[in-house]
Amino acid sequence: MRNRNFRQYYGKPRRNLSLSARRGLGRKVRRVRDIPQNVRDILLRLEGAGYEAWCVGGAVRDLLLGREPGDWDVTTSARPEAVLSLFAPHALPTGLQHGTVTVGGGRGVEVTTYRLDGDYLDSRHPDHVTFTASLREDLARRDFTVNAIAMDLRGRVSDPFGGREDLARGVLRAVGDPEKRFGEDALRILRGLRFAAKLGFAIEPDTAAALHRCAPLLGRIAPERIREELLGILCGPDVLPVLLDYPDVLGVFLPEVLPAVGFDQRSLYHCYDVWEHTARSVAAARPVPVLRCAMLLHDLGKPETFTVDENGQGHFYGHWRKSVEKAEAILDRLRFDNRSKKTILTLVERHDAEMPLSERAVRRNLARYGEETVRLLLEVKRADNLAQAERFRDRQRLIDQWETLLAMVLAEGSCFSLKQLAVKGNDLLDLGLQGPAVGKCLEELLELVMDGELPNDRAMLLAYTKEKLL
Ligand code: ATP
Ligand code: MG
The atom number, within ligand 1, closest to the CA of 188 reads 27
The residues pairing with 202 across neighbouring beta strands, listed in sequence order, are 171
User: Which domains does the chain carry?
Assistant: 4-195 (3.30.460.10), 222-411 (no CATH), 425-469 (no CATH)
Cα 123-127-133 angle, rounded to 5 deg:
115
* Mean pLDDT score across all residues of the chain: 92
Pocket test for ligand 1, best of 120, 142, 151, 225 (most atoms within 8 A of CB): 142
Q: What is the largest CA-CA distance in the chain?
A: 90
Is residue 236 scored above 50 in pLDDT? yes
Number of DSSP helices (H) and strands (E) in the chain, helices first = 25, 13
- Measured in Å, residue 16 CA sits from the centre of ligand 2 at 18
Half-sphere exposure (Cβ direction) of 124: Cα atoms closer than 13 Å: 10
User: Distance between CA 192 and CA 144 in Å, rounded?
Assistant: 8
pLDDT in tens, 448-463: 999 889 999 999 999 9
pLDDT greater than 80 at residue 31: no
Ligand nearest to the CA of 74: 1
With 0-12 CB in 10 A as exposed, 13-18 as middle and 19+ as buried, what is 168?
A: middle
Give the position, in ligand 1's atom list, of the atom nearest the Cα of 59.
7
Q: Is the pLDDT of residue 12 over 50?
A: no
Residue nearest to atom 5 of ligand 1 (CA): 58
The CA 427 to ligand 1 mean position distance, Å, reads 61
Over residues 104-128, the mean pLDDT reads: 82
Overall average pLDDT of the 166-183 stretch: 97
Question: What is the per-residue pLDDT for 13?
Answer: 38
Q: What is the mean pLDDT of residues 392-399?
A: 94
Report the separation in Å between the CA atom of 246 and the middle of ligand 1, taken as the mean of its atom positions. Answer: 21
Q: What is the pLDDT of residue 121?
A: 65
- Tell me, what's the pLDDT at 432? 93
**How many angstroms is it from 73 CA to the middle of ligand 1?**
9
Question: What is residue 41's predicted lDDT score, i.e. its pLDDT?
Answer: 96
143, 220, 225, best to mutate for ligand 1 pocket (most atoms within 8 Å of CB): 143
Which atom in ligand 1 lies closest to the alpha carbon of residue 194? 3
Q: Which residues surround ligand 2, an ion (CB under 5 A)?
A: 58, 71
Ligand 1 atom nearest the C-alpha of 184 is: 28
Cα of 340 vs centre of ligand 2, distance in Å, is 25
Question: Three-class SS of residue 143?
Answer: coil
Identify which has the larger pLDDT, 455 or 125.
455
Q: How far apart, in Å, are the Cα atoms of 188 and each of 116, 124, 140, 296, 423?
A: 17, 9, 14, 22, 59
- CA 237 to ligand 1 centroid distance, Å: 19
With bands split at pLDDT 50, 70 and 90, how would you rate the model's confidence at 125? low
Closest ligand 1 atom to residue 73 Cα is 14
What lies within 8 Å, CB to CB, of 451 at 6+ separation is 360
Q: List the residue whose alpha carbon is closest to atom 17 of ligand 1.
A: 57
Q: How many angstroms is it from 131 CA to the middle of ligand 1?
A: 18
Contact 462, 454 (CB under 8 A): no
Q: How far apart are the CA of 373 and the centre of ligand 1, in A?
A: 34
pLDDT digits (tens, 9 = 90+) for 335-390: 999 999 999 999 999 999 999 999 999 999 999 999 999 999 999 999 999 999 99
* Per-residue pLDDT band at 5 (split at 50, 70, 90): very low
- pLDDT band for position 123 (50/70/90)? low
Question: Considering the chain, what percentage of its residues have pLDDT values greater than 90?
Answer: 86
Please tell me the number of the ligand nearest to residue 198's CA.
1
CA-closest residue to ligand 1 atom 14: 57
> What are the angstrom distances between the C-alpha of 57 and each of 54, 318, 453, 468?
10, 48, 63, 72
- Asked whether residue 28 carries a pLDDT value surpassing 60, the answer given is no
More confident residue, 125 or 22: 125
- Mean pLDDT for 426-441 is 93
Residue 6 has pLDDT above 60, yes or no: no
> Model pTM?
0.91
pLDDT band at 166 (very low <50, low <70, confident <90, very high): very high
Atom 9 of ligand 1, nearest CA residue: 58
Average pLDDT (98-105) is 92
Find the 435 Cα to ligand 1 centroid distance in Å: 60
> In the predicted model, is pLDDT for residue 3 greater than 70?
no
> What pLDDT score was predicted for residue 8?
38
Backbone angles phi, psi at 280, to 5 degrees: -70, -35
Residue nearest to atom 18 of ligand 1 (CA): 57
pLDDT (tens digit, 9 = 90+) per residue, 283-305?
A: 999 999 999 999 999 999 999 99
Q: How far is the CA of 215 from the centre of ligand 1 (A)?
A: 19
Rounded Cα distance, 255 and 375, in Å: 30
Q: What is the pLDDT of residues 180-198, one digit of tens each?
A: 999 999 999 999 999 999 9
**What local confidence, expressed as pLDDT, does residue 320 receive?**
97
Residues with CB under 6 A from ligand 1: 57-58, 70-71, 73, 142-143, 147-148, 185, 187-188
Q: What is the mean pLDDT of residues 395-412?
A: 96
Task: Name the percent of the chain lying above pLDDT 70.
Answer: 92
Evaluate whether 123 touches 183 at the Cβ level (below 8 Å). Answer: yes
* The predicted structure's pLDDT at residue 124: 62
Nearest ligand (C-alpha, residue 57): 1
- Residue 379: closest CA among 281, 301, 239, 238: 281
Angle between helix 319-333 and helix 338-350 axes, rounded to 10 deg: 160
Task: Give the residue-averaged pLDDT of 399-405.
Answer: 97
CA 303, CA 122: separation in Å to the nearest integer? 35
* Residue whose C-alpha is closest to residue 192's, from 175, 172, 212, 213: 172
